[in-house]
Structure 1
Amino acid sequence: MKIGILQTGLVPSELAQQLGEYPDMFARLLDGRGFDFTTYAVVNGEFPDGPEAQDGWLITGSRHGVYEDHAWLPPLEALIRDIYTAGKPLIGVCFGHQIIAQALGGDVRKFDGGWSIGATDYAFGDETRRLNAWHQDQVVTPPEGAETVAKTDFCAHAALLYPGHAYTVQPHPEFGHDVVKGLIDLRAPGVVPQPLIDTANDRIETPLATQRLADEFETFFKTGTLA
């Protein structure tokens, strides 16, 4: 199955040298599941011809906000709507989660409650999954027709299911502890409050449910459902 990765951000160069860019992280997360990946660096203005170019689509994280003024954001939102209309399975992570919601009529904002970073417990129905977070922006009002399938006390819409169309999540299943540690060292000082940094460092080796989400991504790409 051919999956197009829409890359919306760049990993800090110090980390990218060792861990690769976002598409490399997703390729590792979904390795051995029958997918062939093609990357489109939309953050640099590189777009596919249209939704039919691939069998499914994945939108990465980014340090940018979906509400910012960048030339590549309006065509990305238009592409999201075209993918949705075409019925191609679409997955979004962090920024991808947010931009899909915004493109389809939802509301995304810089959250007044501040940051969520590092290993965080998410309620997926009755199941608790610990996954790495790194965000301040979040979906505050989902689009019509989207179902909230995960939440925390901090983030009320941490995962959204658009039945038969898209599955999007706020946490980063592609982030291992090495990525989070790098972001703590490179991007957190002076930006993220020190108590949050300390808590993230304390949890830096905690087990994560990344393969649980990888299983769901595979199922959604192949069937358009989570079951």
Structure 2
Amino acid sequence: MSQPSPKVVILKTGSTYPDIKEQFGDFDEWFVRGLSPGLDITVLNTAAGELPGDPADWDGIVMTGSAAMVSDREPWSEKAAAWLAQAVEKAVPLLGVCYGHQLLAHALGGEVGYHPGGRESGTRRVELLANAQNDPLLCGMPGSFSAQLTHRQSVLRLPLDAVLLGRNEFEPHQAFRVGKCAWGVQFHPEFSEAIMRAYLGVQAPDLEREGFDSQTMMDSVTDTPEASRLLERFSALVTENKKG
């Protein structure tokens, strides 16, 4: 008898811009596209207060990005942070992306706030550190790769027991792990090249006001296959973990 598919919950912490949603779908759909079709995926609207019961009922957890700010400490976000801390304690494989990355750090005693250097947006390089070579999720990835990014807040201080795995010149905390199997990444493995361009298009007036050249940033967008494969890697890790 074949084993049931691993149960994965996507905690959706917001929605994309209306024009982008109309063209590409919403955050959860981008993750579903990148994760393995062999997973049994449930999406919960965490920004509306939905949380999925006991973390141990799930084989894997993914938390999306958001337009919200972790430092605002909205009630739904603080409840989700407490739930993430339980998931880490119960060693359920967990991947937090952008807002999810920041909320995971906040949940475990790290500090999140506005990056002193302002916004990071567009296709940028991410460098993996020596710790990543033996990391269950990141081992075998190239030491440096391109990734899509868009954020104004950052993890300013990691939780005490976190292992730093990745950084770049702008953002010292691009990737970390806590416990055996909970990861946060600031970059967006779920973004396609087209989605990144669409974001920069929407952000262009703000970018110009902040002193960026939005057209140059748009021209610099490239495909990011190594970053995108992180969702396949997480799917494989969840599947292997379920097999025991």
Settle same-fold status: TM greater than 0.5: yes
| Residues 196 and 217 (structure 1), Cα distance of their counterparts in 2 relative to 1, 3 Å cut | farther
Deviations 1:158-178 (A, max 9, x none): 000124130110000101122
Deviations 1:169-218 (A, max 9, x none): 00001011221222122234125635252332121245542343234323
- Answer whether contact 1:88 1:165 (CA < 8 A) is retained: yes
**Stretch deviating more after TM superposition (95-104 or 207-216):** 207-216
41, 46, 65: which one aligns with 2:50: 46
TM-score (norm. length: structure 1): 0.91
| Residues 59 and 207 (structure 1), Cα distance of their counterparts in 2 relative to 1, 3 Å cut | closer
- Measured in 2, the distance between the counterparts of 1:31 and 1:164 equals 22
Opposite residue 147 of structure 2, the aligned amino acid is L
**Stretch deviating more after TM superposition (126-135 or 146-155):** 126-135
How far the C-alpha of 1:4 sits from its partner, in A, is 0.4
Aligned pair count reads: 223
145, 159, 171: which one aligns with 2:175: 159
- Measured in 1, the distance between the counterparts of 2:221 and 2:119 equals 17
> Is 1:143 the equivalent of 2:159?
yes
TM-score (norm. length: structure 2): 0.85
> Is 1:9 the equivalent of 2:14?
yes
> Where does structure 2 lack aligned partners over 5 or more consecutive residues?
1-5, 130-141
- Measured in 2, the distance between the counterparts of 1:196 and 1:164 equals 41
> Where does structure 1 lack aligned partners over 5 or more consecutive residues?
none
> Is 1:134 the equivalent of 2:150?
yes
Deviations 1:113-146 (A, max 9, x none): 0111111000013711101000111112110211
Structure 2 partner of 1:57: 61
Structure 1 partner of 2:133: none
Structure 2 partner of 1:182: 198
TM alignment of 1:1-227, pairs within 5 A = 1-32=6-37, 34-125=38-129, 127-191=143-207, 193-223=210-240
Deviations 1:21-69 (A, max 9, x none): 111101111134x212101101111221221332111110001110114
Opposite residue 149 of structure 1, the aligned amino acid is L
Q: Who wins on radius of gyration, i.e. which is larger?
A: 2
